[in-house]
Amino acid sequence: MLIGGIEAGGTKMVCAVGDENGVIKDRTSFPTRQPEETFADMIAYYKNWDIQALGIGCFGPVDLNRQSRTYGYITKTPKPGWGNCDIVGAFKDALGVPVGFDTDVNGAVLGEVTWGAARGLDSAIYITIGTGVGVGVYVNGGLLHGLVHPEGGHILLIRHPKDTYEGKCPFHKNCVEGLAAGPSIEARWGKKAAELADRDEVWEMEAYYIAQAITDYILSYSPQKIILWGGVMHQEKLFGMVRKEVLNLLNGYVAHEAITEHIDQYIVPPALGEDPGIMGAIKLGLDALG
């Protein structure tokens, strides 16, 4: 059985074909231009494959309410040309197969739950910290939706005592994305994160913010595993610093050995490397078959 998967991003669209066991048979990518021309390339790619279903993990905001007239749409995105875009309808009409749909980060956590670091667990969160901050939430054996979908990248934080930077997010300056995403690091310190590897004060502040967010997620969702990734987390020493600060902030309140004794196995990078999103998209397609 062949299943298509799309990791739909604001810069590029990753397209893959895999099977029900999560084995990727082929992949390609297309630059994200205007919807009509971008979709044409992607649809042409999938017409070369006899796929039974397609899954899409998409940048947002998106409408995930199946009772809504705009289900499957990208809604009020700031990306020019993509607002009010019926991405699910475009592929369903062109390919004539069931289409599974969710946010890109929910797709990533689904990939890790199905084939990766959270395999066999019924709750986990996936946090990506890069150009922005996104959080995918899997609880009680399913992806979390609600009034819209989780926007954990915008929870509000207490500022670091030495931080004078106002914050990058135009909506709320002191959210995780506004204080800890890659563009925030560059704006605060005058250099890209990759150029600041030897500046301990940069990463101490970054760990302070990331750990605050993770502490809030632990207290809110009680996940069995936290998967942390994105361009900022390629700074490997951050993992140890974040784990230490989480323990400090929790202060023994969540007295479970997974945290108190094995936090290095609790807050982890993805087991699927750079592939959680596309693997999760394939699982969304598989699930769309019912």
The answer to whether 156 and 175 have CB atoms below 8 angstroms apart is yes
Intra-chain end-to-end CA distance of the chain, in Å: 14
The answer as to whether 112 is a domain residue is no
The answer as to whether 195 is a domain residue is yes
Residue 206's Cβ-count burial label (10 Å; 0-12, 13-18, 19+) is buried
pLDDT for 78 equals 79
CA dist 174 and 163 (Å) reads: 11
pLDDT for 148 equals 82
* CATH code, domain with 85: 3.30.420.40
Same domain? 71 vs 198: no
pLDDT for 60 equals 86
pLDDT for 79 equals 87
**Which residues does 102 contact at the CB level (< 8 Å), separation at least 6?**
56, 57, 58, 62, 64, 110, 143, 149, 280, 284
The answer to whether 238 and 130 have CB atoms below 8 angstroms apart is no
**192's tokens:** 């890209």
The per-residue pLDDT string of the chain (290 residues; one tens digit each, 9 = 90 and over) reads 999 999 999 899 999 999 999 999 999 999 999 999 999 999 999 999 999 999 999 998 999 999 999 999 999 887 899 999 999 999 999 999 999 999 999 999 999 999 999 999 999 999 999 999 999 999 999 999 988 888 999 999 999 999 999 999 989 889 999 999 999 999 999 999 999 999 999 999 999 999 999 999 999 999 999 999 999 999 989 999 999 999 999 999 999 999 999 999 999 999 999 999 999 999 999 999 98
Domains: count for the chain:
2
* DSSP annotation of 272: T
Q: Write the DSSP assignment of 130-189 as a string of letters.
A: SSSEEEEEEETTEE--SSS---GGG-B-PPPTT-----S-SS-TTBHHHHHSHHHHHHHH
Strand, coil or helix: what is 27? strand
Strand, coil or helix: what is 74? strand
The answer as to whether 198 is a domain residue is yes
Same domain? 239 vs 153: yes
Phi-psi region at 207: left, alpha or beta (left = phi > 0; alpha = psi -120 to 50): alpha
Same domain? 137 vs 240: yes
Range of 221's domain?
118-268
Q: Model's pTM, two decimal places?
A: 0.95
pLDDT for 236 equals 83
Output the CA torsion 184→64→57→95 (10° steps): -150
Same domain? 102 vs 226: no
The answer to whether 116 and 86 have CB atoms below 8 angstroms apart is no
